[in-house]
Homo-oligomer: A and B are copies of this chain.
């Protein structure tokens, strides 16, 4: 390993990312909270449970249809906290800016961060700005970290999926990934592809208002690595099998067309305003209705269920009646997708 180098794959969110985390990070930062490897850390303090999460955003291009690196950075961390079942409260913002970025671009980004924070109902309470010489970073990278509070009775975690659970996806897949990709490649389609970047915390609140908290077992936003990778993580950690139905997965026609043209599987492309929920069968109707009542959830659908056999595996019932394994993302499809 002495001569081994970091590859783009190490940041893909797929299998090699996971190895890096498990083999290098976990043994060093040895604690149970980190070892749970949820979207955010869940810890107890003063008798209350908190969620704490961090993400760095390096998306290229920094402006794209549907958003920019600024609102993406706010929404992304808001969502990671919401996926812990927590109400996000406070965020930090750390900017690394390349010398020469235009002040007007920075102002647009900061303004959109402010707008996104207000939309999510969170406060940015601390920050840091570093400027690095030209050529040592690409325009701007943003880290956001955040803190949320978990309500009594809420227990969602990626190892909490159970036999009999139904799986809800809150809307169409791959919108963010395919938008970034086509922008970067300079492709233009007649139809307007757009990132789905959005905060999901209000949707999660509606879900917990609509159903017994004990009926919502897993929440996950399928960002890097997409729905395919997120489901694999849940299957592995919960030691359950998963079956999803290709026909039920919401997918926009123009996204499907762009994926086919470019040779990408929408199940592995990033989403930035969608969630997967594993829900007890007797709650599924109420939770689905709650999601659909949110502006970001109108296309929500039940896409599959937990199955009795094949723990750790994810299967797709294809449109033509076949059944294939959906594996975790192995390589890197798209660096700097978020």
| CB closest residue in chain B, given A3 | B102
Smallest beta-carbon distance A45→chain B, Å = 7
- Say whether, besides A10-B131, A28-B113, A110-B24, A126 and B53 are in contact (CB < 8 Å): yes
Report yes or no: B6 in contact with A55, Cβ–Cβ below 8 A. no
Report yes or no: B55 in contact with A128, Cβ–Cβ below 8 A. yes
Smallest beta-carbon distance A92→chain B, Å = 4
Report yes or no: A53 in contact with B92, Cβ–Cβ below 8 A. yes
Chain A 23-64 interface 0/1 with B at a Cβ cutoff of 8 Å (1 = within): 011001111011000001101011110001111111010000
* Residues of the B chain whose Cβ atoms lie less than 8 Å from the Cβ of A11: 97, 129-132
* Residues of the B chain whose Cβ atoms lie less than 8 Å from the Cβ of A90: 33, 41, 43, 52
Indicate which residue in B24, B41, B56, B98 contacts A106 across the interface (CB closer than 8 Å). B24
Complex CA distance for A56 and B8, rounded to whole angstroms: 21
Complex CA distance for A54 and B106, rounded to whole angstroms: 19
Segment touching B, from A143-151, A233-241, A289-297, A310-318: A143-151
Report yes or no: A56 in contact with B10, Cβ–Cβ below 8 A. no
Decide if A123 is an interface residue (CB 8 Å cutoff): yes
Smallest beta-carbon distance A119→chain B, Å = 13
* Residues of the B chain whose Cβ atoms lie less than 8 Å from the Cβ of A330: none
Chain A 108-134 interface 0/1 with B at a Cβ cutoff of 8 Å (1 = within): 001101100100000111111111110
Report yes or no: A58 in contact with B126, Cβ–Cβ below 8 A. no
8 closest Cβ pairs, A-B complex: A11-B131, A145-B145, A54-B92, A28-B114, A41-B126, A41-B125, A143-B143, A29-B124
Not counting A20-B129, A34-B126, a sample of 5 additional A-B residue pairs whose C-beta atoms are within 8 angstroms of each other reads A11-B131, A21-B129, A31-B124, A57-B130, A58-B136
